[in-house]
């Protein structure tokens, strides 16, 4: 069910109602999404809702346009990115996100709660070795040997991130096909992905 | 309709401009025939109004070229580059003050809006900027012959909330309704996009007098969508000037044993000399700096372009980091950028062009005047807001917030709630609760910036959520909504959800003026406007008197003078002396009265002169059918002069 954005009579902007981002665009809660169609819809709605269009309208319509456009922008920003779209859907489904997710990190930070660090089992050994390398790098100069080890590790991690993306797409397919158990898979992928990305970031910080 | 005109204003660090987009024959612009968007020149015919404000000996505000003269002779009575101080606190500008001769008020408290000494009074940066805006408003009104009340004003893309708010305040103080603040590089892209509508990815490199911005945009069927922006609000041509001055000051101390810093007016002359040299070096291989020093000493120096480039290279290099960051944020490689546009006076420097073209591996666009393109773009946006025209009906600008918005969380860390490069308007909703039994207020600290720790970010505002009903700790659920509007300015609202009560928010901007202060300044400016008006009337009356006296002088030498009766001649003599006496006073009404009387008394003389002139030129023709023209062109030698 698509949210009502305009008056059926005059075509002008209507007040913003609380709505989820999928409904805002009249989309079902599915994850495989035609991103270029979403972009077209974003542009079409922007042309009609943007404050520029209402700069000479009444204060009431200006306020509605501002609210609606911020909703539109927030919705588009969330849905156009594969990861944030997945996280958002999981949230809507009331599913606790993994500790490593972006959202969980921000939330932990805002509430001041210490984050639990859970290392994914498959990465235990690798992450242990990497942490040794990183410790070494922090102690002193990064010599060529250490540098090439870090670069090699980084390449391995990046390749694994790519595989995870494919895992995520597979989980999307399941979810879109009506399999609600796919959410557990997605949480798992996002969690491992978040952890990996942090490792890559740590390497980049040293290599810089 | 005429009162609905919306102008576009580029309020620059060094120069400011006002532009308009419209059509119709009355707007045909001599310099750009057929162009629908153009700069509105000042009274002196110049498109650029130097962003300098000064007080003359009679404590009248001067703006632009006139103020620049004062800067050279009495620097303490002038302010320039005030844009660098907008929205900033005393702690922010310490470094700045070493290089700029700003005289801050002595009693400033940390966190207070700055005040600068100018003559006997102190002024906040928005008040100084308002003087520049008022001059631009006057220029536009002079051009149209009608009041101008609404404007779009540009700001550096990388301006934070406080700097934007300060700019908006300046507009209000100047009597302008600011319909929109537009980011400078984005405005430039609109000006370029007007000419050739095509799709693709463009990078705008905007290196101005005091600020540097880079924006990456996606153009699609008239939508200008900013993907990423980056910059440095304290990096510009000013920095190049300051470096050259510093080098010269050392040079002079070493060679001639003179400490120039003891002579502010010499420093100002030196500033002008290095700026001239810098400009010359954009088209020549070497330039001379010559400066007269106290005690009759003379400083002379030749700078080659090579020396210049070596000196300024580090400054130019500082612009490349933000470019790379913007590309990274946009998730684009250099190859994916289709076009690069250069904006801002500092992009005239050949080294700057070389570095940019090197980085982006392509030739950059410089077709539009880099000093004017931002103002032209602002006029395009003004046209869109005013309801558009055939040329702009498909155009829509989607800009982003340059800096992340966050709140201070436990332990002094920043929790980001709206990320940088989010399309605006953008919003975020956060929930807060209490930590103590019966707690009735919660303090929130809003920040802007990318750093992890709150102390390293820009403090935007601190506010208390008040009126929370007393409840057990952790029980209240306060929903706070942060909304960044299309100007990039933050709005906050809050609600306690369990009681449904609107929580009261008092947002105290960390470095801003309160609404009340702005209102007072508006009143202030009205008071001054009245004095300005009187001064203007007097100047105009005296000018008019000069004109009629000059015309009378001519009349006396004309043969028609002899045809007047002795009593007519006596009356004219008497009224002429009276007018000359009145001109010595400041009573403009008295001057006008004497002008009218003299006009009346010379009517017969004017008629005789006209008859002679027309009779001589058009012998045999009937006066009635002769077009003698109108206004100042008409052959009334002693008519009322026209003043705009």
Residues facing B506 on adjacent strands: B464
Residue B329 touches partner A, C-beta closer than 8 Å: no
The pLDDT of residue B634 is 33
Radius of gyration of chain A (CA): 22
Phi, psi (rounded to 5 degrees) for B372: -105, -20
Q: What is the dihedral of CA B364, B367, B368, B370, to 10 degrees?
A: 40
Residue B425 to residue A70, Cβ atoms within 8 A: yes
The pLDDT of residue B440 is 83
For residues B28 and B47, give the distance between their C-alpha atoms in angstroms, rounded to a whole number: 16
For residue A55, what is the nearest residue in chain B, using CA coordinates?
B385
Residue B365 corresponds to which tokens in the numbers above?
């666009």
Q: What is the pTM of this model?
A: 0.80
Residue B75 corresponds to which tokens in the numbers above?
């620097």
If DSSP codes are grouped into helix, strand and coil, which group holds residue B400?
strand
Averaged pLDDT, B87-114: 80
The pLDDT of residue A176 is 92
Chain-centre distance of CA B451, in angstroms?
A: 31
Secondary structure letter of residue B98 according to DSSP: H
Please choose, from the candidates B621, B573, B617, B616, the residue with its C-alpha nearest in 3D space to the C-alpha of residue B597: B573
Residue B131 corresponds to which tokens in the numbers above?
């003087």
Residue A109 to residue B409, Cβ atoms within 8 A: yes
For residues B349 and B99, give the distance between their C-alpha atoms in angstroms, rounded to a whole number: 22
- Of the listed ranges B121-125, B410-414, B419-423, the least confidently predicted one is B410-414
Average pLDDT, chain A: 84
- Cβ contacts (< 8 Å) between B428 and chain A: which residues? 74
The pLDDT of residue B7 is 97
The pLDDT of residue B344 is 94
Please choose, from the candidates A42, A51, A56, A39, the residue with its C-alpha nearest in 3D space to the C-alpha of residue A13: A51
Phi, psi (rounded to 5 degrees) for B485: -85, -175
Q: What is the 3-state secondary structure (H, E, C) of B280-297?
A: HCCCCCEEEEEEECHHHC
The pLDDT of residue B642 is 34
Residue A198 corresponds to which tokens in the numbers above?
């942090």
Burial B500-518 (b: 16+ CB within 10 A, else e): eeebebebebbbbbeeeeb
Secondary structure letter of residue B632 according to DSSP: G
The pLDDT of residue B362 is 93
The pLDDT of residue B1 is 46
Residue A56 to residue B385, Cβ atoms within 8 A: yes
Domain extent listing, chain B: 2-213+369-394, 237-317, 405-512, 517-633
Query: Helix crossing, A144-176 with A124-139: angle to 10°?
Result: 140
Please confirm, yes or no, whether B184 is among the known catalytic residues.
yes
For residues A23 and B49, give the distance between their C-alpha atoms in angstroms, rounded to a whole number: 51
**Residue B391 vs residue A32, higher pLDDT:** A32
Burial class (CB in 10 A: 0-12, 13-18, 19+), B377: buried
Q: What architecture is the B237-317 domain classified under in CATH?
A: Alpha-Beta Complex (3.90)
Between the alpha carbon of residue B164 and those of residues B160, B161, B169, B447, the distances in Å are 6, 5, 9, 15
For residue B388, what is the nearest residue in chain A, using CA coordinates?
A53
Q: Taking 50 as the threshold, does the pLDDT of residue B621 lie above it?
A: no
Residue B483 touches partner A, C-beta closer than 8 Å: yes
User: Which CATH number among 3.40.630.10, 2.40.50.140, 1.20.1270.10, 1.10.150.120 corresponds to the domain B517-633?
Assistant: 1.20.1270.10
The pLDDT of residue B638 is 38
- Of the listed ranges B207-216, B537-546, B590-599, the least confidently predicted one is B537-546
- Of the listed ranges A7-11, B353-357, B614-618, the least confidently predicted one is B614-618
- Of the listed ranges B72-81, B283-292, B565-574, the least confidently predicted one is B72-81
Average pLDDT, chain B: 85
**Residue B365 vs residue B99, higher pLDDT:** B365
For residues B232 and B451, give the distance between their C-alpha atoms in angstroms, rounded to a whole number: 15
- Cβ contacts (< 8 Å) between B180 and chain A: which residues? 52, 55
Residue-wise pLDDT for A55-96, tens only, equals 888 999 999 999 999 999 999 999 999 999 999 999 998 887
For residues B38 and B379, give the distance between their C-alpha atoms in angstroms, rounded to a whole number: 8
For residues B359 and B322, give the distance between their C-alpha atoms in angstroms, rounded to a whole number: 12
For residues B178 and A150, give the distance between their C-alpha atoms in angstroms, rounded to a whole number: 53
Q: Taking 50 as the threshold, does the pLDDT of residue B25 lie above it?
A: no
The pLDDT of residue B502 is 67
Q: Which of A37, A53, A55, A112 best tests the B interface by mutation, with the highest count of B CBs <10 A?
A: A55
Residue-wise pLDDT for B175-218, tens only, equals 999 999 999 999 999 998 876 667 899 999 999 988 999 999 99
Please give the full DSSP string across chain A, using - where no structure is assigned. -PPP-B-TTT--B-------HHHHTT--S-S---HHHHHHHHHHHHHHHSGGGGTTS-HHHHHHHHHHHHHHHHHHHHHHSHHHHHHHHHHHTTPPPPTTSHHHHHHHHHHTPPPP----GGGHHHHHHHHHHHHHHHHS---HHHHHHHHHHHHHHHHHHHHHHHHHHHHHHHHHTT-TTHHHHHHHHHHHHHHHHHHHHHHHHHH-
Burial A27-39 (b: 16+ CB within 10 A, else e): beeebebeeeebb
> Is the distance from CB of B212 to CB of B238 less than 8 angstroms?
no
> Is the distance from CB of B258 to CB of B297 less than 8 angstroms?
yes
- Cβ contacts (< 8 Å) between A77 and chain B: which residues? 422-423, 426
Please choose, from the candidates B401, B392, B400, B424, the residue with its C-alpha nearest in 3D space to the C-alpha of residue B193: B392
Largest interatomic CA distance in chain A: 71
**Residue B90 vs residue B500, higher pLDDT:** B90
Residue B173 touches partner A, C-beta closer than 8 Å: no
Q: Which of B10, B213, B339, B371 is catalytic?
A: B10
Q: Beta-carbon neighbour count of residue A61 at 10 Å?
A: 17
Cis, peptide link before residue A3, omega less than 30° from 0: no
Q: Which of B127, B161, B184, B371 is catalytic?
A: B184
Q: Beta-carbon neighbour count of residue B633 at 10 Å?
A: 8
Residue B485 to residue A66, Cβ atoms within 8 A: yes
The pLDDT of residue A153 is 85
Q: Which of A64-78, B111-125, B489-503 has the highest mean pLDDT?
A: A64-78
Residue-wise pLDDT for B266-291, tens only, equals 988 999 999 999 999 999 999 999 99
Q: Taking 80 as the threshold, does the pLDDT of residue B500 lie above it?
A: no
Q: Taking 50 as the threshold, does the pLDDT of residue A189 lie above it?
A: yes
For residues A22 and A7, give the distance between their C-alpha atoms in angstroms, rounded to a whole number: 20
The pLDDT confidence band at residue A127, using thresholds 50, 70 and 90, is confident
Q: Which of B127, B161, B169, B206 is catalytic?
A: B206
For residues A18 and A3, give the distance between their C-alpha atoms in angstroms, rounded to a whole number: 9
**Residue B465 vs residue B140, higher pLDDT:** B140
Chain A, chain B: beta-carbon pairs less than 8 Å apart: 70
- Of the listed ranges B51-60, B112-121, B534-543, the least confidently predicted one is B534-543
The pLDDT confidence band at residue B504, using thresholds 50, 70 and 90, is low
Q: What percent of chain B has pLDDT over 70?
A: 89
The pLDDT of residue B281 is 95
Q: Which of A52, A54, A71 best tests the B interface by mutation, with the highest count of B CBs <10 A?
A: A52
Residue B283 corresponds to which tokens in the numbers above?
């088209």
- Cβ contacts (< 8 Å) between B386 and chain A: which residues? 55-56
Averaged pLDDT, B449-459: 85
Between the alpha carbon of residue B434 and those of residues A40, B238, B338, B481, the distances in Å are 44, 48, 52, 17
> Is the distance from CB of B51 to CB of B81 less than 8 angstroms?
yes
User: Which CATH number among 2.60.120.650, 3.40.50.2000, 3.30.930.10, 2.60.34.10 corresponds to the domain B405-512?
Assistant: 2.60.34.10
> Is the distance from CB of B179 to CB of B383 less than 8 angstroms?
no
The pLDDT of residue B171 is 96
Please choose, from the candidates B126, B90, B12, the residue with its C-alpha nearest in 3D space to the C-alpha of residue B514: B126
Q: Taking 70 as the threshold, does the pLDDT of residue A108 lie above it?
A: no
Averaged pLDDT, B111-123: 85
Domain extent listing, chain A: 119-207
Residues facing B490 on adjacent strands: B484
Residue B273 corresponds to which tokens in the numbers above?
């000399």
The pLDDT of residue B286 is 94
Residue B485 to residue A111, Cβ atoms within 8 A: no
Q: Taking 60 as the threshold, does the pLDDT of residue B599 lie above it?
A: yes
The number of residues making up chain B comes to 644
Please give the full DSSP string across B47-97, using - where no structure is assigned. S-EESEEEE-TT--EEETHHHHHHHHH-GGGEEE-GGGGTT--TTTTHHHH
Between the alpha carbon of residue A18 and those of residues A11, B177, B369, B430, the distances in Å are 20, 32, 47, 15
The pLDDT of residue B626 is 37
Averaged pLDDT, A137-154: 81
User: Nearest Cβ partner of B486 from A47, A51, A74?
Assistant: A51
Please choose, from the candidates A24, A189, A176, the residue with its C-alpha nearest in 3D space to the C-alpha of residue A97: A189
The pLDDT of residue B620 is 45
The pLDDT confidence band at residue B526, using thresholds 50, 70 and 90, is low
What is the CATH topology of the domain spanning B2-213+369-394? Nucleotidyltransferase; domain 5 (3.30.420)
Q: Taking 90 as the threshold, does the pLDDT of residue A36 lie above it?
A: yes
> Is the distance from CB of B509 to CB of B165 less than 8 angstroms?
yes
User: Nearest Cβ partner of A77 from B223, B385, B423?
Assistant: B423
Q: Taking 90 as the threshold, does the pLDDT of residue B381 lie above it?
A: yes
Residue B67 neighbours by CB under 8 Å, 6+ apart = B50, B52, B53, B54, B78
Residue-wise pLDDT for B156-177, tens only, equals 998 999 999 999 999 999 999 9
Residue B213 neighbours by CB under 8 Å, 6+ apart = B156, B157, B158, B183, B184, B185, B204, B206, B229, B230, B231, B322
Q: Taking 50 as the threshold, does the pLDDT of residue B357 lie above it?
A: yes
């Amino acid at each position: 069910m698509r949210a009502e954005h305009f008056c059926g009579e005059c075509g002008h902007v209507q007040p913003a109602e609380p709505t989820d981002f999928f409904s805002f665009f009249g989309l079902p809660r599915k994850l495989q999404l035609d991103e270029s169609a979403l972009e077209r819809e974003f542009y079409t709605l922007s042309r009609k809702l943007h404050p520029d269009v209402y700069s000479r309208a009444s204060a009431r319509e200006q306020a509605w346009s501002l609210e609606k456009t911020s909703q539109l922008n927030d919705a588009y920003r969330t849905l156009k990115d594969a990861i944030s779209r997945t996280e958002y859907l999981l949230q809507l489904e009331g599913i606790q996100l993994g500790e490593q997710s972006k959202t969980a990190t921000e939330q932990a930070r805002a509430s001041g709660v210490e984050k639990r660090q859970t290392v994914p089992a498959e990465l235990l050994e690798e992450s242990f070795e990497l942490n040794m390398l990183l410790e070494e790098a922090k102690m002193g100069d990064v010599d060529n040997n250490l540098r090439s080890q870090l670069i090699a590790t980084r390449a391995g991690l990046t390749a694994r991130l790519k595989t995870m993306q494919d895992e995520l797409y597979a989980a999307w397919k399941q979810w879109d096909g009506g399999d609600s158990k796919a959410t557990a898979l997605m949480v798992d992928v996002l969690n491992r992905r978040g952890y990996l990305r942090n490792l890559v970031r740590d390497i980049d910080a040293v290599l810089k | 309709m005429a009162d609905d005109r919306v102008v576009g204003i580029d309020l620059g660090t060094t120069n400011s401009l006002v532009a308009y987009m419209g059509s119709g024959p009355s707007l045909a612009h001599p310099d750009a025939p057929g162009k629908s968007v153009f700069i509105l020149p000042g009274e002196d015919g110049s498109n650029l109004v130097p962003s300098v404000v000064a007080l003359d000996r009679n404590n009248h505000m001067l703006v632009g070229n006139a103020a620049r003269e004062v800067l050279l002779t009495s620097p303490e009575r002038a302010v320039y580059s005030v844009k660098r101080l907008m929205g900033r606190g005393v702690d922010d500008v310490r470094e700045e003050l070493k290089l700029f001769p700003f005289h801050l008020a002595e009693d400033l408290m940390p966190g207070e809006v700055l005040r600068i000494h100018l003559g006997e009074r102190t002024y906040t940066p928005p008040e100084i900027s308002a003087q520049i805006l008022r001059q631009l408003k006057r220029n536009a009104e002079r051009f149209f012959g009608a009041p101008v009340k609404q404007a779009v004003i540009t700001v550096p893309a990388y301006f934070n909330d406080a700097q934007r708010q300060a700019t908006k305040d300046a507009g209000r103080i100047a009597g302008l309704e600011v319909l929109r603040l537009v980011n400078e590089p984005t405005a430039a892209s609109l000006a370029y996009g007007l000419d050739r509508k095509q799709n693709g990815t463009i990078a705008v490199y905007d290196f101005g007098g005091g600020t540097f911005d880079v924006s990456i945009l996606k153009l699609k069927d008239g939508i200008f969508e900013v993907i990423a922006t980056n910059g440095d609000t304290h990096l510009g041509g000013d920095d190049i000037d300051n470096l050259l001055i510093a080098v010269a000051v050392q040079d002079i101390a070493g060679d001639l044993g003179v400490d120039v810093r003891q002579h502010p007016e010499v420093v100002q002359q030196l500033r002008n000399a290095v700026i001239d040299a810098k400009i010359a070096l954009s088209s020549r291989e070497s330039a001379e700096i010559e400066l007269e020093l106290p005690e009759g000493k003379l400083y002379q120096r030749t700078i080659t372009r090579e020396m210049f480039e070596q000196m300024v290279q580090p400054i130019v290099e500082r612009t490349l980091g933000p470019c790379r960051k913007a590309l990274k944020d946009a998730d684009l490689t250099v190859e994916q950028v289709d076009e690069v546009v250069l904006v801002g006076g500092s992009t005239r420097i050949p080294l700057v062009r070389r570095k940019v073209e090197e980085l982006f591996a392509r030739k950059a666009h410089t077709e539009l005047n880099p000093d004017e393109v931002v103002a032209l773009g602002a006029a395009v946006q003004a046209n869109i807001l005013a309801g558009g025209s055939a040329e702009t009906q498909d155009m829509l600008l989607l800009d982003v917030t340059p800096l992340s918005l966050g709140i201070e969380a436990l332990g002094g860390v920043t929790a980001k709630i709206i990320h940088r490069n989010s399309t605006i308007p953008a919003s975020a909703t956060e929930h807060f609760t209490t930590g103590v039994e019966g707690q009735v207020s919660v303090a929130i600290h809003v920040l802007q910036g990318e750093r992890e720790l709150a102390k390293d970010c820009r403090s935007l505002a601190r506010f208390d959520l008040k009126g929370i009903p007393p409840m057990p700790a952790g029980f209240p659920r306060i929903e706070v909504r942060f909304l960044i509007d299309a100007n990039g300015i933050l709005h906050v609202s809050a609600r306690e959800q369990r009681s449904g009560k609107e929580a009261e928010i008092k947002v105290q901007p960390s470095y801003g003026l309160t609404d009340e202060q702005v209102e007072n300044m508006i009143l202030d400016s009205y008071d001054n406007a009245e004095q300005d008006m009187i001064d203007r009337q007097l100047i105009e009356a005296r000018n008019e008197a000069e004109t009629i006296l000059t015309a009378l002088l001519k009349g006396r030498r004309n043969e028609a003078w002899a045809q007047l009766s002795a009593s007519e001649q006596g009356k004219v003599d008497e009224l002429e002396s009276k007018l000359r006496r009145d001109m010595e006073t400041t009573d403009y009404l008295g001057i006008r009265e004497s002008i009218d009387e003299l006009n009346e008394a010379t009517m017969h003389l004017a008629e005789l002169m006209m008859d002679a002139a027309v009779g001589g030129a058009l012998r045999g023709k009937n006066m009635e059918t002769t077009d003698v023209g109108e206004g100042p062109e008409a052959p009334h030698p002693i008519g009322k002069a026209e003043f705009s």
